[in-house]
Amino acid sequence: MLACILTVVLIVNLIIFIVRLFAWRNIQKSKHLLISTLIIIGFLSIYGYNWEFNLNMIPHGEFHDHYASPNKQYTAIVYFNSNGLAEDEVLGVIRDNVTNKERAMYYVLRQNPQVKWINNTTVAIGNHEFNVKDESQKYDYRHDK
């Protein structure tokens, strides 16, 4: 009789141990799942923010024309992007010919913008003027109010 009680107690303790072990593993698995989900959401959020607010993330599309500044230090380059489903997009990029760095500063829909250099560091693209040395100057139609 005592052996039977000890066997039942041992089996119950073994079942409790196995349940706690699986519960611990499930907690660990759910922690890993939660952490990996948060990491993926974080990366997607950063990518989405950059896609919406960083003009350098926009694909350049098809080269249209380039315009050199009077002293040839900068070049304004215009790209057209026609993907068939959306409206035609125009991306204006400024290249520093000394450092070969490019940055997008003009993004509009359905226009063939006129590009004109006012002086060595100021360019007029469409209806907007930009100082190419000021990195904060840009125009994005998506944020036009």
Render pLDDT for 46-58 as a digit per residue (tens, 0 to 9): 888 887 788 887 8
The reply to whether 70 and 126 lie within a common domain is yes
The reply to whether 14 and 65 lie within a common domain is no
- Indicate the residue among 53, 72, 88 that finishes a domain: 53
The reply to whether 41 and 71 lie within a common domain is no
Q: Which domain holds residue 42?
A: 1-53
Whole-prediction pTM: 0.65
The reply to whether 76 and 110 lie within a common domain is yes
Domains of the chain: total? 2
The reply to whether 68 and 131 lie within a common domain is yes
Owner of token pair 């350098």: 56
The reply to whether 72 and 42 lie within a common domain is no
Q: Give pLDDT tens digits along the chain (145 positions).
A: 455 565 667 677 767 776 666 666 666 666 666 677 778 888 888 888 887 788 887 888 888 899 999 999 999 999 988 766 667 888 999 999 999 999 999 988 877 789 999 999 999 998 899 999 998 899 988 887 6
Task: For residues 41 and 136, give the distance between their C-alpha atoms in angstroms, rounded to a whole number.
Answer: 28
Q: Are 54 and 143 in contact (CB under 8 A)?
A: no
pLDDT of residue 142: 83
The reply to whether 74 and 31 lie within a common domain is no
The reply to whether 34 and 88 lie within a common domain is no
The reply to whether 134 and 70 lie within a common domain is yes
Task: For residues 86 and 90, give the distance between their C-alpha atoms in angstroms, rounded to a whole number.
Answer: 12
The reply to whether 75 and 127 lie within a common domain is yes
Cβ neighbours, 10 Å, residue 56: 13
pLDDT of residue 92: 92
pLDDT of residue 1: 47
- Indicate the residue among 37, 53, 69 that finishes a domain: 53
